[in-house]
Amino acid sequence: MATASVSSSLDAGAVLPGVRWALVRDLKLAFRSRAELGVQLMFYVIVVSLFPLATTPERNLLATMGPGVLWVAALLASLLSLPRLFAADFADGTLEQIALSPYPLPALISGKILAHWLTTGLPVALMAPLLGLQYAVEGEGLVILMLALLLGTPILSLLGAIGAALTLGLRSGGSLLALLILPLYVPVLIFGAGAVDAVRAGLGSAANVSLLGAGLLIAAVGAPFAAAAAVRIALD
């Protein structure tokens, strides 16, 4: 009993260092390939910017479709970058060494997910108000749009990590990843875009934002453990 208690204490004390180690490592790797990060952001900007060119410039129509377009583009940008979470480490054997490290594997995966969000989701959320101006989204709508993305894009990274771990080492893993993850993204898309639509309708966005916050808490607690279990299965 005493030994188990000591082991549990050591594991708890290793969580934050494990998150920090994986976060710093993955951020360094990401910034070494800045061109790849730039391509993902340009993909987001181009997809968002194409829709106004392909539709009528009527202000009300743009304002109606804008939140949905911004969220779908954010979803696709996140999906585009998911394979880099584990694939490279799995291919060169690094992931196996990470799994054998003294840090808890869920903590290490949490650090990798956080790094993914900082390099993909956060830039998307910060750029959204500027891009939202193309769709006549103004004032409180822009604020709620960015807030919803700040709450929703981490959920995309957390859920995406589960899918990325489940498809490790599989042929056509990218296609299978999309089939697994896209249905899980639908509630986030609905509540995120719905928050801005509610502001436009004068109904208030508290319900949608609260649901996104609750979803983030649930995903933050459960996703690292689910992804860690899937990684261990892939390594066995």
**HEC sequence for 189-212:** HHHHHHHHHHHHCCCCCHHHHHHH
Q: How far is CA 73 from the centre of its chain?
A: 12
- pLDDT per position as a tens digit, 143-163: 999 999 999 999 999 999 999
pLDDT tier, 39 (very low <50, low <70, confident <90, very high otherwise): confident
| Per-residue pLDDT, 2 | 34
> What's the CA gap between 150 and 123, in Å, rounded?
10
CB of 209 closer than 8 Å to CB of 195: yes
> What's the CA gap between 181 and 183, in Å, rounded?
6
- pLDDT per position as a tens digit, 77-114: 888 888 888 888 888 888 888 888 889 999 999 999 99
What's the pTM value of the predicted model, to 2 decimals?
0.88
Locus of tokens 């070494």: 32
Q: What angle do CA 180, 184, 186 make, to 5 degrees?
A: 125
Query: Which residue, 69, 75, 76, 67, is CA-closest to 195?
Result: 67
| Per-residue pLDDT, 22 | 93
Domain boundaries, the chain: 2-235
| Per-residue pLDDT, 202 | 80
